[in-house]
């Protein structure tokens, strides 16, 4: 397909600009005026609509395909929550910053407060900030809060953050952005962080340990309480990466277990679509002792029941321009309100049921590196298929031809030829059975006709793409 720029015809009109009802001003000074015109496409509204409508059709998506992309929680999000998010389009975020402005925005402020309370109850934390704009942003915010906590206590020696090697890459990257050095702990043969090595790494220079639980293998670490204890004894704080919270909703609350800080991904667990890579939202919850260090401003409920956005002077400052990705938060608030207590418990139960069902159905044909009950996702290895020269990527591409978005492949890094499947709770047995049939067929083809898998995909607008060439060419915009 051509680029929209390539469809441009000089002089073609687009959407009309509003008519002017004021006098023409004297010309803008030449010295400050741009010399090069802005070479945006010149297309008609029809060209534009046809271009992006057809472009959209070149995507797989949850609304069109089963999308069991492990670690990403590609669940179906209800359309009513989508509508709810759009209701606030006209609300200006600067209003509450004006004197007397807060009373005009009680609706959105009460929503922020309500969502923070919902998330605090769900995670077992004492307070929550919704300001971080994405999961990784939440991680960085959380670590900055931890850093501020230590510094406020005059504890300046802590310069390390402990991270298991099976963590999301964002964990060490976020801790590094907050100024810490990273200590990586390997995974033990039983699939969790090696406890002995962790104990050895812990000392009074460690600021925090960051745990993802269930971890990227989809396994629940039964030692998390012990890990928290060990950290706390050394004066370190504990950070819970809540990206996989959908596995434990109503079952485990990280705050109860001993974690001091958590971030959650509203776009994974709480009903907001992924938007092709964003926007997300990464609220952070903390235990009481850390509340002073949360970012500014804080939405508070006053004694008369009204809501205010207060400066938070001891906090780490501002991590995003206003109150976070509000329209995403509105979707999450709507989602939690819609599902309610029982609905949220059902989420974790069905997420886990579905993952275990797929694991059980595929384990005869695909290698299961850690054979135990999984949580919301299961991780296979294509090691058996590799013997026939078939890689995980070949199976992935074959799935595309059969109308399924592939699982995550080659992640987690500690599993060779990893195939990480997360069906999510919104998929039915019917759909999973169709997927399982194709996975089994791929395993059969790997034995009988591996070439068929190497050629895939053939039904897509493009075949396998040359990524090396892209990295070498660095062509990142059109000429």
Interface residues toward its own copies, by CB under 8 A? 7, 9, 12, 44-47, 49-50, 53-54, 57, 62-65, 76, 78-79, 426-428, 430-431
Considering only residues 116, 125, 145, 168, which one is a binding residue for another protein as defined by CB under 8 A? Answer: 168
- Is residue 164 a contact point for another protein (CB under 8 A)? no
Cβ burial of 292 (10 Å; 0-12, 13-18, 19+) is middle
Picked from another protein, its own copies, none, the partner binding residue 289 (CB below 5 to 8 A depending on kind) is none
| Side-chain-side CA neighbours of residue 129 (13 Å) | 38
Pick the piece of the chain touching another protein (CB under 8 A) from 61-69, 283-291, 384-392, 437-445.
61-69
Give the residue with the Cβ less far from its own copies, 64 or 117.
64
CA dihedral 266, 271, 274, 278 (to 10 degrees): -30
Q: How far is the CB of 471 from another protein (least distance, A)?
A: 5
In the complex with another protein, which residue's Cβ is closer, 314 or 447? 314
Instruction: Output the six-digit token pair for 255.
Output: 């705050």
Judge contact between 442 and 398, C-beta under 8 A.
Answer: yes
CB of 120 to another protein, least distance (A): 11
Say which entry of another protein, its own copies, none residue 389 contacts (CB below 5 to 8 A, set by partner kind): none
| Minimal distance, residue 244 CB to its own copies, in Å | 21
Closer of 80 and 470 to its own copies (Cβ): 80
The span of 76-84, 195-203, 284-292, 439-447 binding another protein (CB under 8 A) equals: 76-84
The rounded distance, in Å, linking the Cα atoms of 361 and 359 is 6
Rounded to the nearest whole angstrom, what is the least distance from the CB of residue 389 to its own copies in the complex? Answer: 32
Helices (H), ranges, 258-387: 266-269, 326-362, 383-386
Report the residue number, 124 or 273, with the smaller CB distance to its own copies.
273
Q: Is the peptide bond before 412 cis (omega within 30 degrees of 0)?
A: yes
Q: Which residues, at least 6 apart from 140, have a Cβ–Cβ distance to it below 8 Å?
A: 132, 174, 177, 178, 319
Which residue, among 282, 214, 207, has the nearest Cα to 248 in the 3D structure? 214
Calpha distance 430→432 (Å, rounded)? 6
**Nearest distance from C-beta of residue 175 to another protein, angstroms:** 7
DSSP-H helix ranges across 60-133: 79-86, 106-123
Which of residues 67 and 220 has its CB atom nearest to its own copies in the complex?
Answer: 67
Residue 277 in the binding site for another protein (CB under 8 A): yes
Q: Give how far the C-alpha of residue 235 lies from the chain's centroid of Cα atoms, to the nearest Å.
A: 30
By C-alpha distance, which of 170, 222, 168, 214 is closest to 195?
A: 222
Q: Which residue, 297 or 406, is less far from its own copies as judged by CB?
A: 406
Site residues for another protein, window 392-411 (CB under 8 A)? Answer: 396-397, 400, 405-406, 408, 411
Compute the residue count for the chain.
Answer: 479
C-alpha triplet 378, 382, 385: angle, nearest 5°: 145
Q: Residues 114-153 vs another protein: string with x where CB under 8 A?
A: ----x--xx-x--------xxxxx-xx---x--x------
475 binds, among its own copies, another protein, none (CB under 5 to 8 A by kind): another protein
């Amino acid at each position: 397909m051509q680029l929209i720029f390539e469809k441009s015809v000089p002089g073609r009109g687009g959407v009309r600009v509003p008519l002017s009802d004021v006098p023409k001003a004297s010309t803008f000074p030449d010295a400050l005026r741009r010399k090069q015109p802005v070479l945006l496409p010149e297309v008609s509204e029809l060209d534009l609509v046809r271009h992006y409508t057809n472009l959209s059709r070149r995507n797989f998506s949850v609304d069109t395909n089963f999308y069991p992309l492990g670690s990403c929680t590609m669940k179906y999000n209800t359309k009513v929550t989508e509508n709810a998010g759009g209701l606030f389009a006209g609300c200006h975020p600067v209003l509450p910053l004006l004197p007397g402005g807060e009373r005009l925005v009680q609706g959105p402020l009460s929503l922020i407060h309500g969502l923070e309370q919902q998330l605090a109850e769900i995670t077992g934390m004492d307070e929550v900030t919704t300001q971080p704009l994405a999961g990784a942003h939440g991680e960085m915010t959380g670590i900055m809060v931890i850093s501020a906590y230590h510094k406020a206590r005059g504890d300046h020696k802590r310069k390390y953050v402990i991270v298991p090697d099976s963590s999301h890459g964002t964990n060490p990257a976020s801790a590094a952005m907050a100024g810490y050095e990273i200590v990586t702990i390997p995974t033990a043969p039983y699939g969790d962080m090696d406890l002995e090595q962790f104990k050895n790494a812990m000392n009074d220079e460690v600021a925090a340990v960051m745990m993802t639980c269930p971890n990227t293998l989809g396994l629940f670490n039964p030692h998390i309480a012990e890990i928290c204890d060990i950290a706390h004894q050394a004066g370190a704080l504990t950070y819970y990466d809540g990206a996989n919270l959908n596995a434990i909703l109503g079952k485990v609350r990280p705050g109860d277990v001993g974690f001091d800080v958590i971030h959650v991904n509203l776009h994974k667990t709480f009903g907001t679509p992924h938007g092709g890579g964003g926007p997300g939202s990464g609220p952070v919850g903390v235990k009481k002792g850390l509340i002073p260090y949360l970012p500014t401003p804080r939405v508070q409920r006053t004694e008369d029941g009204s809501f205010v956005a207060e400066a938070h002077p001891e906090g780490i400052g501002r991590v995003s321009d206003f109150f976070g990705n509000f329209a995403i938060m509105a979707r999450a608030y709507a989602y939690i309100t819609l599902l309610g207590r029982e609905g949220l418990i059902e989420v974790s139960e069905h997420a886990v049921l579905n993952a275990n069902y797929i694991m059980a159905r595929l384990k005869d044909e695909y290698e299961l590196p850690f054979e135990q009950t999984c949580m919301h996702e299961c991780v296979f290895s294509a090691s058996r298929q590799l013997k026939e020269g078939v890689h995980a990527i070949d199976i992935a591409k074959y799935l595309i031809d059969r109308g399924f978005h592939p699982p995550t492949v080659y992640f987690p890094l500690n599993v060779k030829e990893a195939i990480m499947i997360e069906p999510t709770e919104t998929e039915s047995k019917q759909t999973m059975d169709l997927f399982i049939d194709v996975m089994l067929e791929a395993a059969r083809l790997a034995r009988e006709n591996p070439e068929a898998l190497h050629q895939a995909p053939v039904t897509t607008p493009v075949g396998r793409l040359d990524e090396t060439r892209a990295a070498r060419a660095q062509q990142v915009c059109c000429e």
